[in-house]
Amino acid sequence: MATEVAQIPAEETPAVAAPASTENAAAAAAEQAEKPAADSVAVAAVAGENAANAQDNNKEDAKASPAAAAAEDGAAADAKKDGDAAAAVAAPAAAAGKSEAPAQKFNVHKTNFEKDIIYLYQFSRTPLLPSLSPYCLKVETWLRLVGLKYENVDHKMRFRSKKGQLPFIELNGEEIADSAIIIKELSAKYDKNLDAGLTAEQRNVSYATIAMLENHLIWIIFYWRAKYPDNVLKGYKVNLQHALGLRLPNSILNFFFKITFGRKGTKKLKAHGIGVHSAEEIEEFGKNDLKVLSEMLDCKPFFFGDEPTTLDVVAFAVLSQLHYLSKDIAYPLRDYMTEKCPNLIGHVSRMKDKCFPDWDEICTKLDLNAHIPKPEPETKEGKEGGEQEKSNEQEGTEGDKIEKELEKDKSNEKESTEENKEKEETK
């Protein structure tokens, strides 16, 4: 499994320990709530049983003392009524005890989540491509390709998964980390397997090629980034102030980025093993990987035919990191792909058009959720039109009032005229 590597270092957020299970606490609370109610039910049952026994005994003695038997029968009936009343009071109390169990708590960042909405935590946008992390771009590309509803969380790169990684998702109060595991879990849950139509041999080829991309070619790209951190900022036009949501000047942020990113990256590269080789050897490794991919793709639109699979998603996420680097920055591996592997450039373009029709809007506005429809802002003309319509309605209402008053005056005047005529005729 490829290790998810942070492309722009942010303050590492330690994994928050999961709270003690709420299930036992809820059971204990319910038990305590039910105890008094259960005691009341027991008392009621005993009272009812005693009343029944007393009634049986009274029947035997009825012949000897009719008056006493009648009295005892009345007392037994009263006792039974009291027992039934106690049971009736105890039952709602027990139900209330159960309903007062504490609500379930979710150990996630997005506590006000909507059901079945996937909340994606990844890196901030850049002006040249949606994400500097091939792993983050891989997950978002897959989500768009299979058509699942998701929302990017604008956390300014402050959060990490419990594994210390980006990306990770939250779904219905549960966290899922690591890009490969995210895709695997969501594929199973929503029946969205992009590789369902592949043969066993094709699946094996896909698995091996993805391993080459994520465990080899990505690390070759990371080597260049760790060696030239300044070119990372310039090549992708990264604005750290916006990406991290900080007020410090970019000059200061860039200075610390170069030191921290280069130092951490070098350690990780040596731990991986790629960092022990020379720059020329590493460049040759990268060219060989690109050549293999180009020969596999050949003239096909996607690696296994007319429809994209998981391999196409991973290849797009990795190759985009090379292709969309600014031409102002020299990078031999990017130039090799452009000159010697033009079919890979075509593949990147096809995947971009298919999965990111809003690419330009994303890169221009740096909008994490450009795919979510926004409510149209009310225009000034619309407001003026609404006010005019309201004014016309008011004017119409006032006009109706005046018209009614005029009609009333006319009616009164007519009645007055008729009365005067009658008076004159009488005279």
> What whole-number distance in Å separates Cα of residue 303 and Cα of residue 127?
28
Among the ranges given (41-55, 171-185, 200-214, 393-407), the one the predictor scored with the smallest mean pLDDT: 41-55
pLDDT range class, residue 58, cuts 50, 70, 90: very low
For each of the domains in the chain, give its residue range(s) and CATH number, in order of start.
Answer: 118-365 (1.20.1050.130)
Query: What pLDDT score does 376 carry?
Result: 77
Q: Would you state the structure tokens that stand for residue 37, as one six-digit string?
A: 């109610």
Query: What pLDDT score does 74 carry?
Result: 52
Q: Would you state the structure tokens that stand for residue 314, as one six-digit string?
A: 């991973």
Cβ neighbours for 423, distance < 8 A, ≥ 6 positions apart = none
3-class SS letters over 141-198: HHHHHHCCCEEECCCCCCCCCCCCCCCEEEECCEEEECHHHHHHHHHHHHCCCCCCCC
Instruction: Put the strands of the sheet holding 118-121 in their side by side order.
Output: 150-152, 118-121, 168-171, 174-177
> What whole-number distance in Å separates Cα of residue 136 and Cα of residue 344?
20
Count CB-CB contacts under 10 A for residue 151. Answer: 17
Asked if residue 344 lies in contact with residue 337, where contact means CB atoms within 8 angstroms, the answer is: yes
| Mean pLDDT computed over 71-83 | 51
User: How many Å is the Cα radius of gyration of the chain?
Assistant: 39
For 114-154, write each residue's pLDDT tens digit: 999 999 999 999 999 999 999 999 999 999 999 999 999 99
Q: Would you state the structure tokens that stand for residue 243, as one six-digit string?
A: 């990406």
Asked if residue 128 lies in contact with residue 363, where contact means CB atoms within 8 angstroms, the answer is: yes
Question: Between these two residues, 3 and 188, which has the higher pLDDT value?
Answer: 188
**In 113-247, where do the E strands start and end?**
118-121, 150-152, 168-171, 174-177
| Mean pLDDT computed over 5-23 | 40
Question: Between these two residues, 17 and 165, which has the higher pLDDT value?
Answer: 165
Among the ranges given (157-161, 174-178, 190-194, 297-301), the one the predictor scored with the smallest mean pLDDT: 157-161
> What whole-number distance in Å separates Cα of residue 341 and Cα of residue 334?
10
Separation of CA 266 from chain center: 34
| Mean pLDDT computed over 29-57 | 44
For 387-424, write each residue's pLDDT tens digit: 555 555 554 555 555 555 556 555 555 555 555 555 44
| Mean pLDDT computed over 7-15 | 39
Query: What pLDDT score does 390 carry?
Result: 53
Q: Please spell the DSSP secondary structure of 322-342, one letter per residue.
A: HHTS-TTS--HHHHHHHHH-H
pLDDT range class, residue 374, cuts 50, 70, 90: confident
Task: Provide the 8-state DSSP code for 274.
Answer: G
> What whole-number distance in Å separates Cα of residue 279 and Cα of residue 140?
32
Amino acid at 33: A
Computed over every residue of the chain, the mean pLDDT equals: 78
Asked whether residue 46 carries a pLDDT value surpassing 50, the answer given is no
For 278-337, write each residue's pLDDT tens digit: 999 999 999 999 999 999 999 999 999 999 999 999 999 999 999 999 999 999 999 999
**In 268-331, where do the E strands start and end?**
none
Q: Would you state the structure tokens that stand for residue 150, as one six-digit string?
A: 């998701």
Asked whether residue 427 carries a pLDDT value surpassing 90, the answer given is no
| Mean pLDDT computed over 254-263 | 92
Query: What pLDDT score does 80 carry?
Result: 52
Q: Which residues pair with 150 in a beta bridge?
A: 118
